[in-house]
Amino acid sequence: MSDAPSRTVVVWDPLVRIFHWTLVTAVLIDLVLEAGSKIHIWAGYTVAGLVVFRLVWGVIGSRHARFSDFVRSPGAVLGYLKDLRRGKARHYLGHNPAGGAMILLLLAALVITAGTGVLMNTDRFWGNDLIEGIHETAANAFYILVPIHLAGVVLSSLLHKENLVRAMITGRKPL
């Protein structure tokens, strides 16, 4: 065992990490509680507020929080996935192109889910079957994307020999 300290660098700022884990908590609450219950509704409003924050922070936040740092073209995402399949995917300090695409998909599903959830609590759209259907479809899409996201985290952690869950807790990744 080496006495040399491991070299790490801050990648995700505290606001990104607080956003992430608060979002996980609110989504889990919404998943397990009955739709329409007061806590489900307030957890949904929390998700809506968090998503608005993340969209703003994606423009003005720290380097690796900004969309400009990790949103890539579809060609770059496909190229990364091809390299990943061959076990030769490039390491990124922040999110890789596939991770960036997943963030956009997750955020889109949350924007639609939270947006329709808010609409369902207005007089105009209360009991509207179309809005409720869109809400449920977007929520289900989100719940399909989450395990894919988690599989990507595990795969990337193994491939690049780094603990991405720890990094999302501490904000630090090895150099």
Report residue 4's pLDDT band, with 50, 70 and 90 as the boundaries: very low
Q: pTM for the whole thing? A: 0.90
Helix (H), strand (E) at residue 139: helix 129-160
Half-sphere exposure of 118 (CA within 13 A, CB side): 10
Q: Tell me the percentage of the chain whose pLDDT exceeds 90.
A: 80
Domain residue extents for the chain: 9-174
Give the model confidence (pLDDT) of 51-102 as tens digits: 999 999 999 999 999 999 999 999 999 999 999 999 889 999 999 999 999 9
Write down the mean pLDDT value for the chain: 92
Whether residue 1 is predicted with pLDDT greater than 70 in this model: the reply is no
Q: Are 79 and 96 in contact (CB under 8 A)?
A: no
Closest CA to 69 of 150, 140, 12, 25: 12
